[in-house]
Amino acid sequence: MTRHTPPPPSTGCRNAPVLKQRGQHEVFCGLTGIIWLHRKMQDAFFLVVGSRTCAHLLQSAAGVMIFAEPRFGTAILEETDLAGLADAQNELEREVDRLLSRRSDIRQLFLVGSCPSEVIKLDLARAAERLTMKYAPRVRVLNYSGSGIETTFTEGEDACLASMVPTLPETDKRQLMLVGALPDVVEDQALDLLAQMGIEDVTVLPARHADTEVTVGPNTVFALTQPFLGGTHAALERRGARHLPAPFPFGEEGTTAWLQTVAREFGVDQARFGAVTDAPRARARKAVAKATETLNGKSVFFFPDSQMEIPLARFLTRECGMEAIEVGTPFLHRAVVGPELDLLAEGPQLSEGQDVDLQLERCRAAQPDLTVCGLGLANPLEAEGLTTKWAIELVFTPVHFYEQAGDLAGLFSRPVRRREALKLGAT
Ligand code: SF4
Task: Calculate how far, in angstroms, residue 236's C-alpha sits from the geometric centre of ligand 1.
Answer: 28
Are residue 300 and residue 392 in the same domain, yes or no?
yes
Establish if 355 belongs to a structural domain.
Answer: yes
Q: Indicate whether 381 pLDDT > 70.
A: yes
> Residue 17 half-sphere exposure, CB side, CA atoms within 13 Å?
3
Are residue 338 and residue 408 in the same domain, yes or no?
yes
Whole-model pTM: value is: 0.93
Residues 125-172: pLDDT tens digits?
Answer: 999 999 999 999 999 999 999 988 777 889 999 999 999 999 999 999
Domain boundary among 217, 235, 265: 265
Are residue 293 and residue 259 in the same domain, yes or no?
no
> 137: cis peptide before it, omega within 30°?
yes
Residue numbers of the domain that contains 185:
175-265
In one letter, which amino acid is 84? Answer: G
Are residue 237 and residue 294 in the same domain, yes or no?
no
Task: Calculate how far, in angstroms, residue 333's C-alpha sits from the geometric centre of ligand 1.
Answer: 25
Establish if 56 belongs to a structural domain.
Answer: yes
Residues 228-271: pLDDT tens digits?
Answer: 999 999 999 999 999 999 999 999 999 999 999 999 999 999 99
Are residue 290 and residue 210 in the same domain, yes or no?
no
Are residue 290 and residue 401 in the same domain, yes or no?
yes
Are residue 417 and residue 316 in the same domain, yes or no?
yes
Task: Confirm or deny that 363 is annotated as ligand binding.
Answer: no
Are residue 395 and residue 341 in the same domain, yes or no?
yes
CA distances to 189, 332, 406, 412 from 229, rounded to whole Å, are 21, 11, 24, 24
Are residue 142 and residue 198 in the same domain, yes or no?
no
Task: Confirm or deny that 115 is annotated as ligand binding.
Answer: yes
Atom of ligand 1 nearest to the CA of 58: 6
Task: Calculate how far, in angstroms, residue 388's C-alpha sits from the geometric centre of ligand 1.
Answer: 25
Are residue 295 and residue 358 in the same domain, yes or no?
yes
DSSP string, 324-385: EEEEEES---HHHHHHHHHHSBS-SEEEEEE-HHHHHHHHHHH--SEEEE-HHHHHHHHHTT
Establish if 338 belongs to a structural domain.
Answer: yes
Check which CATH number belongs to the domain holding 351 and give it. 3.40.50.1980
For residue 58, the tally of other CB atoms under 10 A from its CB is 24
Task: Confirm or deny that 373 is annotated as ligand binding.
Answer: no
CA distances to 142, 306, 356, 399, 405 from 369, rounded to whole Å, are 44, 20, 19, 22, 21
Q: Which of the two residues, 178 and 86, has the higher pLDDT score?
A: 178
Structure confidence at residue 65 (pLDDT): 47
Establish if 162 belongs to a structural domain.
Answer: no
Band the pLDDT of 89: cuts 50, 70, 90: confident
Are residue 215 and residue 92 in the same domain, yes or no?
no
SS3 letters across 390-412: ECCHHHHCCCECHHHHHHHHHHH
Q: How many structural domains is the chain composed of?
A: 3
Are residue 247 and residue 305 in the same domain, yes or no?
no
CA gap 8, 215 in Å, rounded: 36
CA gap 276, 360 in Å, rounded: 45
Domain boundary among 151, 184, 211: 151
Establish if 270 belongs to a structural domain.
Answer: no
SS3 126: helix
Atom of ligand 1 nearest to the CA of 50: 3
Establish if 373 belongs to a structural domain.
Answer: yes
Residues 286-343: pLDDT tens digits?
Answer: 999 999 999 999 999 999 999 999 999 999 999 999 999 999 999 999 999 999 999 9
Establish if 157 belongs to a structural domain.
Answer: no
- Residues near ligand 1 (Cβ within 6 A): 29, 31, 50-51, 53-54, 57, 114-115, 146-148
Q: Are the beta carbons of 328 and 246 closer than 8 angstroms?
A: no
Domain boundary among 233, 265, 297: 265
Establish if 277 belongs to a structural domain.
Answer: no
